[in-house]
Structures are given as C-alpha cells and as structure tokens.
Amino acid sequence: MPRRVAVTGVGLVTPVGVGTEETWQALLRGQSGIGSITHFDASRYATRFAGEVKGFEPTRWMSARDAKSSMSDPFIQYAVAAGAMAMDDAGLVIDGELAERAGCFVGSGMGGVATIEATHRALLAKGPRHAFSPFFVPQIAINLAAGQLSIKFGAKGPCYSQVSACSSGAHAIGDAFRVIQRGEADVMICGGSEAVVTPLGVGGFGAMRALSPRNDAPALACRPFDLERDGFVLAEGSGILVLEELEHARRRGARMHAECKGYAANADAHHITAPAAEGEGAQRCMRAALADARLDGAQIDYLNAHGTSTKINDAIETLAIKKVFGDHARKLMVSSTKSMTGHLIGAAGGVEAAFCALALAREQVPPTINYTTPDPECDLDYVPNTAREAKLRNALTNSFGFGGTNACLIFGRPEP
C-alpha cells in the first residue's frame, strides 16, 4: 500500500498578506489584494494594476547580503520566505538521517523575469563587461527556488522544479506527494513561487488580451464566474507546504493540517491557451484524482476552482465540474480565491493547495468576491462574497495551465 502523507506546514506570501495567518484572515474578510502597479511605471500599459506583494522585507528570512546577491530575484525571495514559514509551522528540523530523506520541489512558470529585465537594461547601458552579476544565472534559474530552500534547511533528497505554467505549483506538490508515497523521502518542502508583475509579464499577458482592463476599479476587476468578468489579474507570491509521511509526523507529535489523499496530472492535447471542449481534459483529471484518493465525488465538500475570471475558462470549468460530480455539483461549495489574490501563475497551485489545507483545518471556506451578477452558464454555489463556516471532509483544487496542462490535488481531514 502507498504510504500516507500529511500536510504539517504551510507558508504563504501573497498579495493579501505576508504570512499564513495574515493571508488567511484577509481571505475570510473578503479582502482584495489588487491595486495599481507600483513595481514599475505602468502608465503606458493597457492594464495598470496587479496583485503585488506588499510590505515584504526579505531580510526577515535571509541575510542582507543574500538578499542583494544570490537571492535577489523576488521569485526566489518569496519561496525562501514561504518555505521558512512552512518549516516553522511544521516545527521541523532537518538533521541527521532525516537530511537524506528530505527534499524540495518548487515550481515556477517563468522564474527570474525581473533579473533578466534589469540585466538587459544594464547590458544596453553599460555593455557586457559591466552589466552582468556573477549571480545572474543563479538568480534567474527556476530550480534555484528549490535549491535555495534545500541549502537553507539541509534537505539532501530529491530537489528540482516543475515548470508547467499555471499548474507548476500543483504539479510540484503532487510529485512530492508521490515521492513520499513511494518511500523515496519522508519530508518534502514543496509548492510554487512567481514574480511576474514586471514590464515583460504585464505586457506579455496584456498582448494576449488575457488581462482585465478595469483600471478605474482594480479591486473589483477579478470576478470569477460573474457575468461581467472580463479577464484575469496578474499577481505574484509563493505558497509552500511541508508534506510528511503520516507516521513520521505522528511519531514526533506534529500538528497535521490535512492529509494529501489524491493527485492526477494530464493534458488536453488541444490548444496552447484554450481549454478543450466541455473541459474534457479537466474532467479526466478530476476523475483520476478522485480515483487515486479512492473517493466518490459525493465525498468532496469544497472545490477550490482554477477560476481565472475569463469568459471561456470559468464557463468550461463549471461545465467540467457538473459533468464529473453530477447531482452533487449543486451541493459542492466552489470558490475562486483568485478573486482576492489575483492569478499567481506558477505559484497559484501552491497557494491554493495551502488554502484547501487551511479550510479543512479551520473549518472555514473562503469566498469568491466580486460576485454580483450571476451568469446562466456558471450556476453553482460559488460561496459568493462571504466566507462560510463548514465542517469539511475533503477538498479538491484545480490548476490548469497554458499548453493544456492540468493538475488536481485532493486533501482530506487526517483520519486514524
């Protein structure tokens, strides 16, 4: 039998809060983290707002020297901070024999974009002899988020990064779950990190006409499943979990937020950005995750939706949920926390998996805010605008990415 896996640590750096508790309480209040862009002058951009991380001081989690050199790109800094929070939450020290039984998987969609941009500007201004830091490559390489966490905590087991657009964080957690199930590790630090609120990030997604243009009301712009939705909101941050073999966690008396019960990954094999008709790939992925968890659809109480606030994706995801869950879809609580955080791209899956674990542990379901005008095509219970108290047995989270990549994770209350 596969080994059981618990979630013993959660760390969050998001647009609604720097810290797990700060983020969670903001979600329960229905607080938006979306506002005008301050990282750069966005006055000439069609979309001039995003979900920026606010008040982040990297030296709380790393030395001033590291913050200015090997960890200077924000996507690495966010991962190190969230990872440190998760490890502190888990009350775990990796040493002795555990070192070789602990690893790190941290996914990202785009890596060190801010460093690439800054270095290119320096290259044009100063030339190649003076533009490049010796840390340039370690600052931009996607696997360095996992690498820095491995170094910081002495985790000598599997260490690499999953790159699958908006599914990256979910794939990292799912793959870490599998590593522990198979007995290849006892502890995995895993999740996603992203920092693409930059000129290239905002410009690129804007050129795809994927972003909401509501510059006059940024906090109202992300409105998943609402009839008046008009695009997603780009965001940044990190969500990191500590996964631990369940008996290992019990032996040391660890608190368990949730149990990781199921995982599935597949592809639409259809289009680089548009979902397959009727969410065919998403349907298969959700069904496979349920089968992996040995659960019937009726045993899922909460679904954290991919819910991007785009016309086609929200309607297709709703249809896919109804196809998979049948009559039970009407009883499911479905919310898109992107309505508050924005879309964290490669970090989204890590952040939203953390939200599922916290929902189970706290018996609270975060809302979908900005839901004011129902869409006939989106007719489920989206926990509109107000958080809800609920005793949950199991929760499922969806992550779907460009290239047709899909990942679904299922978490449940820890059982004997």
Q: What are the residue numbers of the active site?
A: 166, 306, 343
The closest alpha carbon to 258, from 60, 92, 103, 395, belongs to 395
Cβ-contact 152, 71 below 8 angstroms: no
Residue 191 DSSP SS3: strand
Rounded distance, CA 74 to CA 39, Å? 11
Instruction: Specify the residue for token string 């991962």.
Output: 79
Rounded distance, CA 335 to CA 337, Å? 6
Cβ-contact 256, 8 below 8 angstroms: yes
Residues 6+ apart with CB under 8 A from 16: 22, 23, 26, 27, 31, 32, 33, 340, 341
The closest alpha carbon to 108, from 147, 135, 158, belongs to 147
Rounded distance, CA 190 to CA 407, Å? 15
For 281-294, give the DSSP string.
HHHHHHHHHHHHHT
Q: Which parts of 311-411 fold into alpha helices (H)?
A: 311-325, 338-341, 348-362
The closest alpha carbon to 74, from 189, 233, 240, 194, belongs to 194
Rounded distance, CA 388 to CA 359, Å? 10
Cβ-contact 365, 302 below 8 angstroms: yes
Fill in the amino acid letter for 388: R
The closest alpha carbon to 260, from 73, 394, 416, belongs to 394
Cβ-contact 267, 406 below 8 angstroms: yes
